[in-house]
Amino acid sequence: MNALLSIAFVLCWSSGFIGAKLGAGSASAVTVLMWRFLPLAVILLVVAATAGRASWRGLAAREVVRQVAIGVLSQSGYLLTVYYAIQLGVSSGTTALIDGVQPLVAGALAGPLLHQYVSRRQWLGLCLGVGGVALVTTADAMAATGVAVWAYLVPFLGMLSLVAATFLQSRSRTQVAPGVALTVHCATSAVLFSVLALGTGAAAPPAEAGFWTAVVWLVALSTFGGYGLYWIILRRSGVTEVNALMFLMAPVTAVWGALMFGEPFGAQTALGLAVGLAAVVVVRRDGRAGRRKTGGSPPGDPHSLPPCPAPKPQESGHRLSGGCS
């Protein structure tokens, strides 16, 4: 089951870069994002007010505010930078490469912020992953023409935004149902992107069929698939494992781009994909070995955190690995 979830997550998350490229040809970034989230937020809010009411019972206002902040960081800020970077001319592969640095940054910050330990073998896997995604997209980045140097800082800011959201969620001691979190995050994004689109005069959608194809693609694959699976795997396996999977995004995006848009796929891309796969194997095997030795989550396991108080009765749902505030 975990393997199937991981495969689905990699494909769905990578689809976001492809969808962003599809939408970039017909409308501005804020237009695509507004129409991606506005109908979705309405649907989710209707479901929350009817079939999903039980999941909201007992949810404190403080946790709703926390989820709004997480949504701003992990969804609104992250996606806006990715879409804007591609609109500026940064290729989807290069954007995926910069996004792929996120696991190394998260690993470096896990110790001081979450009191987690990342083993030497896992650091080896993290470094292998960075090398893999670099092999896939370095040639593309070097060959780019007509793209301002500062444009490459835009997806870097998005990567930092996602790191911040990951740690903010990991510090929460309240268990929030995935459907509740997704509803709050999407509603927050719908409001923010609608305000941006209306304020810049970019709210009207184009009449092109390609625009709506991109919107449906992004809602079905990227939001429900990639974004939803991101938090599910984070809760089930912890920060290190989900970060290891992030290393596969750039290679998979490169393969997908080659098949869908005819982008070049050579020996360097194939080598990068192989290195990225090796990185995932190294990180995942190290985590499993630690659990087998202790029969659970050992003190040095990267998924463990200091003990948290027992959850209150209303704090039902999925709990992050050891997360507490």
* Chain segment 294-320, per-residue pLDDT in tens: 443 322 222 222 222 222 222 223 323
**Residues whose CB is less than 8 angstroms from the CB of residue 322 and which lie 6 or more positions away in sequence, other chains included:** 238, 297, 303, 304, 305, 306, 308
Q: Averaged over 25-36, what is the pLDDT?
A: 91
Give pTM, 2 decimals: 0.74
- Provide the token pair at 128: 């292998």
What's the rounded Cα separation, in Å, for the pair 212 and 220? 12
A 10 A CB-CB count for 57 gives: 8
Q: Can you list the pairs that 209-215 forms with residues at least 24 positions away whose Cβ atoms lie under 8 Å?
A: 210/22, 210/25, 210/26, 211/23, 211/26, 211/27, 211/32, 211/35, 213/22, 214/19, 214/22, 214/23, 214/26, 214/32, 215/23, 215/32, 215/35, 215/36
Cα 69 to Cα 76: distance, rounded to the nearest angstrom: 10
Highest-pLDDT range among 27-31, 169-173, 175-179:
27-31
225 secondary structure, DSSP code: I
